[in-house]
Amino acid sequence: MTTAALKQETVFDINEMNLWYDQFHALKDITFPIHKKEVTAIIGPSGCGKSTFIKSLNLMASRIPGVKMTGDITFNHQNIIINKPNLVDLRKKVGMIFQKGNPFPQSIFENVAYGPKIHGIRNKKRLQEMVEDSLKKTALWDEVKDRLNVNAFDLSGGQQQRLCIARAIATNPDVILFDEPTSALDPVSANKIEELILNLKQNYTIVIVTHNMQQAARISDKTAFFLHGRMIEHGDTNQLFSNPKNKETEEYITGRFG
Amino acid sequence: MNSKLADKMATGVFVLIALIFISLLTALFSYILMRGLPVISWDFLTEASSVVREGGGIRDQLFNSFYILFVTLVITVPLGVAGGIYLAEYAKPGKITNFIRTCIEMLASLPSIVVGMFGLLLFVNLTGWGYSIIGGALALTMFNIPVMVRVTEDAIRSVPADQKQASLALGMTKWHTIKTVILPSAFPGILTGTILASGRIFGEAAALLFTVGLSTPELDYTNWNPFAETSPLNLFRPAETLAVHIWAVNTNGIMPDVTEIAAGASAVLVLSILLFNLLARFVGKIIEQKLTANKK
Can you give the pTM of this predicted structure? 0.80
Residue B169 to residue A115, Cβ atoms within 8 A = no
d(Cα B79, Cα B73) in Å, to the nearest integer? 10
**Residue B7 falls inside a structural domain:** no
Domain total in chain A: 1
**Cβ of A85 under 8 Å from any chain B Cβ?**
no
Q: What is the CATH number of the domain that holds B171?
A: 1.10.3720.10
- ipTM for the complex? 0.83
| Min Cα–Cα distance to chain A from B168, Å | 8
| Min Cα–Cα distance to chain A from B286, Å | 14
Predicted confidence (pLDDT) per residue in A165-191, tens digit: 999 999 999 999 999 999 888 999 999
**Residue A258 falls inside a structural domain:** no
In contact, A156 and A103? CB cutoff 8 Å? no
| CB neighbour burial string for A166-184, b if at least 16 within 10 angstroms, e if fewer | bbbbbbbbbbbbbbbbbeb
In contact, A189 and A101? CB cutoff 8 Å? no
3-state secondary structure chain B: CCHHHHHHHHHHHHHHHHHHHHHHHHHHHHHHHHHHCCCCCHHHHHCCCCCCCCCCCCHHHHHHHHHHHHHHHHHHHHHHHHHHHHHHHHCCCCHHHHHHHHHHHHHHHCCHHHHHHHHHHHHHHHCCCCCCHHHHHHHHHHHHHHHHHHHHHHHHHCCCHHHHHHHHHCCCCHHHHHHHHHHHHHHHHHHHHHHHHHHHHHHCCHHHHCCCCCCCCCCCCCCCCCCCCCCCCCCCCCCCCHHHHHHHHHHHCCCCCHHHHHHHHHHHHHHHHHHHHHHHHHHHHHHHHHHCCCCC
* B171, B172, B291 member nearest A105 (Cβ): B291
* B162, B171, B181 member nearest A87 (Cβ): B171
pLDDT of residue A62: 86
**Residue B45 falls inside a structural domain:** no
pLDDT of residue B295: 39
In contact, A107 and A130? CB cutoff 8 Å? no
pLDDT of residue A109: 93
Q: What is the CATH number of the domain that holds A184?
A: 3.40.50.300
Domain total in chain B: 1
CB within 8 Å of B37: residues ≥ 6 apart: B267
d(Cα B63, Cα B268) in Å, to the nearest integer? 12
- Residues 96-115 of chain A with CB under 8 A from chain B are 96, 98, 100, 102-106, 114-115
DSSP-derived 3-state class of residue A153: helix
Residue B169 to residue A114, Cβ atoms within 8 A = no
**Residue B275 falls inside a structural domain:** yes
Tell me the sheet residues that pair with A43: A225
In contact, A1 and A164? CB cutoff 8 Å? no
In contact, B148 and B74? CB cutoff 8 Å? no
In contact, B164 and B248? CB cutoff 8 Å? no
* Chain B positions touching chain A (beta carbons under 8 Å): 160, 162-163, 165-173, 176, 180-181, 184-185, 290-296
**Residue B186 falls inside a structural domain:** yes
Residue pLDDT tens, chain A, 258 long: 444 545 578 999 999 999 999 999 999 999 999 999 999 999 999 889 999 999 999 999 988 888 999 999 999 888 999 888 888 889 999 999 998 888 988 889 999 999 898 888 888 999 999 999 999 999 899 999 899 988 898 899 999 999 999 999 999 999 999 999 998 889 999 999 999 999 999 999 999 999 888 999 999 999 999 999 999 999 999 999 999 999 999 999 888 765
Q: Return left, alpha or beta for A46; rule: phi > 0 is left, psi -120 to 50 is alpha, else beta.
A: beta
Residue pLDDT tens, chain B, 296 long: 688 999 999 999 999 999 999 999 999 999 999 999 998 888 888 888 887 777 788 889 999 999 999 999 999 999 999 999 999 999 888 898 899 889 888 888 889 899 999 999 999 999 989 999 999 999 999 889 999 999 999 999 999 888 888 999 988 888 989 988 898 889 888 988 898 888 889 989 999 999 998 888 888 888 888 888 888 888 899 999 999 999 998 888 888 888 888 999 999 999 998 888 888 888 878 877 766 543 33
Could you tell me the residue range of the domain that residue A247 belongs to? 3-253
pLDDT of residue A2: 45
d(Cα A68, Cα A56) in Å, to the nearest integer? 11
CB within 8 Å of A234: residues ≥ 6 apart: A32, A222, A223, A224, A225, A240
pLDDT of residue B291: 63
pLDDT of residue B66: 92
DSSP-derived 3-state class of residue A221: coil
Paired sense of beta strands A67-75 and A39-43, if any: unpaired
Contacts of B180 in chain A (CB under 8 A): 114
d(Cα B236, Cα B202) in Å, to the nearest integer? 19
As a residue count, chain B comes to 296
pLDDT of residue B293: 47
Could you tell me the residue range of the domain that residue B86 belongs to? 62-291
**Cβ of A78 under 8 Å from any chain B Cβ?**
no
Q: Is B187 exposed, middle or buried (0-12, 13-18, 19+ CB in 10 A)?
A: middle
Tell me the sheet residues that pair with A40: A207, A222
For A129-142, the DSSP string reads: HHHHHHHHHTT-HH
Residue A89 to residue B291, Cβ atoms within 8 A = no
Contacts of A87 in chain B (CB under 8 A): 171, 173
Cα distances (Å, whole numbers) of residue B8 to A7, A100, B2, B5, B12: 70, 41, 10, 5, 6
DSSP-derived 3-state class of residue A50: helix
In A98-204, beta strands by DSSP E: 175-179
